[in-house]
A and B are shown apart, each in its own frame.
Chain A
Amino acid sequence: MIKFKNVSFDYGDDENKINALKDISLTIEDGEFVAILGHNGSGKSTLARLINGLLAPSHGEGLVDGSSTVDSSAVWRIRQQVGMVFQNPDNQIIASRVEEDVAFGPENLGCEPAKIRARVDEALAVVGMRELAHSDPHLLSGGQKQRVAIAGALAMKPKYLVFDEATSMLDPKGREEIVATTRRLNSDYGITIIFITHIPEEAALAGRVVVLSGGTIAMDGTPQAVFSDVDAAAALGIGVPKARLLAHGLERAGIDIPGSILTVDDLVAALC
């Protein structure tokens, strides 16, 4: 379980203080798939860095499985338990063979070679990249590179995976690959997923959507609840899935449609 108790975070010194997070309290249970949405500068990446102890709260406390993220005796365990995947796949590649890249984390943990081998094979199999184990990651497509990055995080055997805009550089197919992979990691392997995105359609696939605004939690609920009020979502700068927007337009044109519709297929079903 990840638990934030009244967490605030300030960047900069006293004179140029930027209050990026303000008194955030948030609990994420094991096995959840949580999407985090929020306008640019709302504090999403800051929250991500606080979860795995890259940043320490200015006030309040962050707990991962009961250990404080600033507890020096727990920090390595927390970094191993909380994997991160970032936006730019190119910046995350370090080796010239896919399997070496994935092995990097467990090697640093000091795992023995046979164990590393097994972990790398398993991680690559999970993301569907075993055939490309010997390839040069630099030559892969964006979606493939991003799956290598996920395999690298998986080889650490994490309980939690945090994706910070991990699809924003990809084309629609690459994006689909990553979203499908994360859903499988959650449903088949029980990994808790925290998925930061600007794309409402992606957030709509999560079990729960947390919306940040100006460093505070503005909404926290199911995708249906969060996207039901189109104007409120617009005011928070996040937008809603396009199908929801179409449904909203049709409602206003006098067609009777439930407010919970988030996909084109559901919209078609409601109209037929």
Chain B
Amino acid sequence: MLIEMAKVTFEYLPGTPLAHTALSDIDLSISEGDFIALVGPTGSGKSTLIQHLNGLLTPTSGSLSFRGRSVGSDVGLLELRREIGLIFQFPESQLFEHTVADDIGFGLRQQGLAGPEVASRVEDALLQVGLDYAHYAQRSPFSLSGGEQRLVAIAGVLAMRPQFLVLDEPTSGLDARGKEAIFDCLDRLNSEGVAILMVTHSMDEVAESARRIIVLNEGKIVLDDKPEGIFVHASFLREIGLDIPKAAELVFKLREKGFNIQPDNVSMRSVVASVAAAVKERCAN
């Protein structure tokens, strides 16, 4: 097991009038190679949960282990952060170097890497997020558009080649092409064995890549299942402020109209195939 959270509760500002329990009683196991989407309405505790994974926050009560070793006592924060790459919500606010290349290479140099190894990893990371090295490497990160800054910040974490990649709403503000670059990259890393956990609001994105979806509401895990097991709870999801992928919505609405379509795979491609088959079957009758 990669990560094991047991009965984790987290309270902000404990003992003050502003005390607020952001996570309560979280039990969560993450396996090597998992591809998980973490979804939930604003304020449900997603960012709080994620910050526990690399030791930025420590549980008020409960425990956290990494590969069977207890975080804090058996695993130090340095080791944890080397293995687990965390891309913050709005990572662009942490850009600070003079050039894009220096910013992406910063973490690598901190690890003691130098010269050509840093340069080639920086170039590779830019390529992975779909930014052209020649065009961007020497520019100031502060002269980039919002979306370009986001991609540079993501590249900075990718360059570290973590074994577990945690991303907090990485695609908000990215154009269609940038989103695709990020998802292609995540798919590829996952197929190479990197575990992925991403926070997102886009159910359409989730349906395409993730193999497991965790729904958080008011600091508790309320659903944890394969995508097709999640989206059957459409009305519950809407109640808590979420929605379902358009492809799943199409399947459910056509089933209501009497079409013979199984709601067992909600990715775009398989929905197109099963809807096309059902429409042809209906016309033939």
Q: Is A246 an interface residue (CB 8 A)?
A: yes
Say which one of B2-10, B108-116, B264-272 lies at the interface with A. B264-272
How many of B's residues come within 8 Å of A, CB to CB? 44
| A39 at the binding interface (Cβ < 8 Å) | yes
* Secondary structure call for the B interface: helix
Contacts A246-B272, A254-B276 given; does A198 touch B173 at CB 8 Å: yes
Cβ-Cβ contact count across A and B, 8 Å cutoff: 122
- Contact across chains for A268 and B247 when beta carbons are under 8 A apart: no
A234 interfacial contact with B, CB 8 Å: yes
Per a CB cutoff under 8 Å, which of A18, A233, A255, A272 touches B143? A18
- A67 on the interface (CB 8 Å rule)? no
Residues in A155-212 with C-beta less than 8 Å from chain B: 165, 168-175, 198, 200
B275 touching A250 by the CB < 8 A rule? yes
- Out of B43, B145, B176, which one reaches A45, CB within 8 Å? B145
Complex interface residues of chain B between 33 and 62 (CB less than 8 A to chain A): 41-43
Contacts of A233 in B (CB 8 A): 176
Per-residue A-contact encoding for B261-285, CB less than 8 Å = 1, 0 else: 0000000110111011001100000
Beta-carbon contacts of B162-199 to A below 8 Å, as 1s and 0s?
Answer: 00000000001111111100000000000000000000
Contacts of B145 in A (CB 8 A): 40-41, 45
The answer, among B176, B268, B275, for a CB contact under 8 Å with A239, is B176
Instruction: Report Cα–Cα, A11/B150, bound state, in Å.
Output: 20
A77 at the interface (CB under 8 A from B): no
> Which of A41, A234, A264 is in CB contact (< 8 Å) with B253?
A264
Using A41-B148, A253-B276, A268-B254 as known contacts, say yes or no to A141 and B42 having CB atoms under 8 A apart. yes
What residues of chain A have their CB less than 8 Å away from a CB belonging to chain B? Answer: 11-12, 18, 38-42, 45, 87-88, 141-143, 165, 168-175, 198, 200, 233-234, 237-239, 241-243, 245-246, 249-250, 253-255, 264-265, 267-268, 271-272
